[in-house]
Structure 1
Amino acid sequence: DKTTSNYIYNVKGLIYTNLNMHDSALKCFNQSLKIRKELNFTIGIATSYTNIGSIYCSLNELDSCFYYTQKAIEIFSSNNDRTGLIGSFKLMGDYYNKAKDYDNAIRYFNKSLELNKNFGDLSIQKDVFEGLKLSYQKLGNINKAFCYQELSVKINDSLSTNVYVERITHLTESLKYELQRQESELIQKQRERELSSKIKFQQSLIRLYISILFLVLLLVITVVYFYIQKYKSYKLLNLQKRQIEELNSTKDKLFSIIGHDLKNPIASIIGVAEVLNDSTITIPDDKRKQLIRSIYDVGTSTHHTLEGLLNWAKTQTNSVNVRFDNVNLSTLIDSIIRIQTPIASQKGITIENIVEKDLSAVTDTDIISTILRNLTLNAIKYSKQGGRIIISAENQNQWVVVSVKDFGVGMNYDVKNALFSSTNIKSSYGTANEKGTGLGLIICKEFIAKLGGKIWVESEIDHGSTFHFTIPNKSI
């Protein structure tokens, strides 16, 4: 921690000072000072200032020595720390000696001696006496210089005796410490052996728990895996069940169309043809024209039914091949209108193309034609006598939106939701009792999906319907 680091840096600085390694000592004292400031250790900061000032004094950098020593004295004085002031005053005396201001040096040395009376620090006394000897010597007062020299020698002898005693004490303490250390090491080794045994036992337990956990996890994963597989199988069976139901529904619808929507019209054509072919029956010209028109209408309707069945069969067998080409939509819609106009004119319906003449899209001509034919026929079927149908198209970002709008009977919410369902194929009669297969809109949805677009309807009862579909606006 920071307290320990501060202590270590300070001790290292003192060691470097005793070895006269001033630069290293200065670095350590500065590092200690930095940490003490972070800890807000006021007395420690003042002590660091004293240590740094002492190094600068040894290096004869007197301005720095005075600066740090003065800061130390200020802090020690404000905290009434006499022990700190003893060393700082002694250092300030050394400074003034080097600055050759011997009177001030004597003043600060005496301050240090005065404070030291209550502490009796012989080492400080010896250093102060040495400083005073130098001051008086430089001032030419040989008697006082000699007096302080004798005092310094006496203290030095006392210090030597003290050092000897300290060495004996130190050896005794070292021996005691060594015995304690060996005893501690034996105790520590015993504890380490016990701890090692406990750790090994705990490690064995942990390995056992991990093995058990692994087996449980493996069991859980196995159970989850089989559950997922079972769930996937269940989903697949449900999907296959729905597909089979859809196929059965489609098959039933297909047989119904073949058995009713194709059989009855063909039987009707055969019946009319027999009447026309019977030479024994006299038929007026207007009646004959009506019968021929009837054959035409039934044949046209049957053709549309067969075309729808063929297109639907293509989507079910994935045999629709998409061939992209640049298609002018306005021109294509004009051709669709020409084909549908004879059918629309029977109900007095007009079909308008409001698409811009230069609007093109990269798409499949045959598929778009089939979609537009089915939507137009659917609009004719549910338009009222004398109604209008509007076909429009516009660019919207990366899509072309094509719309077929009629003003016919419209439809409710439930009918709209079931329009494009292949499992709920229904067909209602048109405004002139036209009958269809119900496949047209489903074919449109699947063909548009082949092109990467979508289809939807907006409708309101008695206000008509608008079928919209999108096709990607690609480039080739």
Structure 2
Amino acid sequence: MSLPKSFSQSISELEDSIYLNHLDRKTRIRLYNLLAREYSFVNQVKSINNAEKALVLSKEIDDSAGIASAYRILGSIYSQNDNHFQSLEFFLQALDIFKSRNDSLGIANVYVSLGHYYKRLKRIEEQIDYHEKSLIIFRSLGNKSRIGVATHNLAESYLLGGEFEKSRELVKESIQINSDLNKLSVLSSCYNILGKLEYKIGNKDSAIINFEKVLEISKKLGDKSQKLATVDALINLSDIYYELNQNQLMLDYLKQAIDYSNLTLLDDELSVIYLKLIKYYVNLEQFDSLQFYLSEFQSINTKRKDLQLNNQFELIKSVEDSYYLQKVNDKLEKSNLIQATRLQLAYFGIISVLIIIIILVWSLYINIKKNKKLARQQMIIQTQKNHLEKLNNTKNKFFSIVAHDLKSPLNSLKSFTDILSDHFDSFSKEDIKNFSNEIKTSVGNAIKMADNLINWARIQMEDVSVDKITLNVAESVQPIYALYRNIASKKDIDLKLEIGENLKICVDQNQLEFVIRNLLNNAIKFTKRGGVIKLSAQELNDKVEIIVEDNGVGMPDQIKENVFKLESKHSIRGTEGETGTGLGLMLCQEFVNLNEGELLIDSEENKGTTIKIRFDKAL
């Protein structure tokens, strides 16, 4: 059977070929190594499995070329997962074998892998050295296809090292070779290198032309395009148009880059794109867009970490499985050890069963003793049960609120501090000032939520005292009205005050003021610009009624019916994005109840809300 001359044959075709019965073992080894190389780009666990199969079969027939090829592939996979020590060991083993065979092509290919290895370690000098060595060998062999790849690799290395003229000379040679051979994937990456080179030396027009060529080739190749070159070209085009003050084009290219990265699962590139958009929207102070991309940035970084951990786990598990299977096969070849193993397993099985029975009997005995002791203590426990249940319910409610309401401002605060910590040097003083303002707002929200949570918890624990005094409603409300009139005016809201003379009630002054402040704050939050809020008080039979009325957005029936139920609490943003927890209104009801009052809500969606609190009239 003849093998494909390139890696264009699909994975499914290679997998079908591997099961053909007439294949000799050398051909099967080559197929396993081909599958391992193809899978290294899409499924590293399957890549390792196929490389291990090639390795085992190669050792059985002493096929040193198959062994060396498997080692090279394993080295590449471990390098991609930052297992640099194991990766280098595999590469050096492969290199020793190819040298012992005088296999120049194999040696050069390992040099290519070592060049990529040192690129990941950001060691430019070693990277250049190995790519130069590979190019010298490929030239001596006259292998045009590999020369086209090696000149591309070396051009990229010189670009990273700042040697622009050497990079230009090599990338032009690579473009010519890959154009002649119609190797479009490598060609697109060459144009990307040339575009970055022109961009670095200030030739923006030439850079744009080369990056556009990358996109043209990518469109032509479709699924077989060079993914990293394509998204890199889109990002660089966005940077150029940003410098040219063409922000709409900049955003268009970044959004294309997001779509392409999502489609091709390029999470590292997505992280870079989101960071650029965060910086852009910080400068514009467009906080809604900023918050969205902060959330996306945090999500993709979490995904990257989880994926990296999962890949490493699967990698380790695959190696462990391969090692275990090999050890088992070695044992099964010796019949006397097989019998000994069976007897030993049976012996341990019996011992294990006996131990389990003893543990169960002992546990049963201990449980019987405990049950007798518990029965004697039942009367004492019963008297404490109700109190403990109440404390437990309070604790559960408290932590459910903490988990729900403090999470948002703290997450926002963490996102801003993570970005400032990880990318401090990339932000201007103005950027840092904007971030500081956002952090200040998040901290303020968190403190306000914490205060409300503590007050609520104290009420539930009956740790709040009520110091009632006789108050004149007008005198108590006037300072609060003056404060909130200024706050309302910033939102173009007309806050009116209509309170009758000599209205007196007997309540805790601090708790009354807390209630009035919260009701006015909510009214301002949920009233649109140009709206009207009225704070009034009147005598109603033997009661005094304080009313906060607005023509804001009102409440849907579902929220209105459950507004005082903790398990159904809703956090709703105000008309201009003001944050809130929904806990303030619950605290208002608690404080009103503590002062033997009544709180009533009348609200209609899109028409407004009226909240009334009633207390006994003081004599």
Q: What TM-score range do you get, normalising by the shorter chain?
A: 0.3 to 0.5
Which fold has the larger relative contact order, with Cα–Cα distance below 8 Å and residues 6 or more apart in sequence? 1
TM-score relative to the length of structure 1:
0.44
Structure whose CA Rg is larger: 1
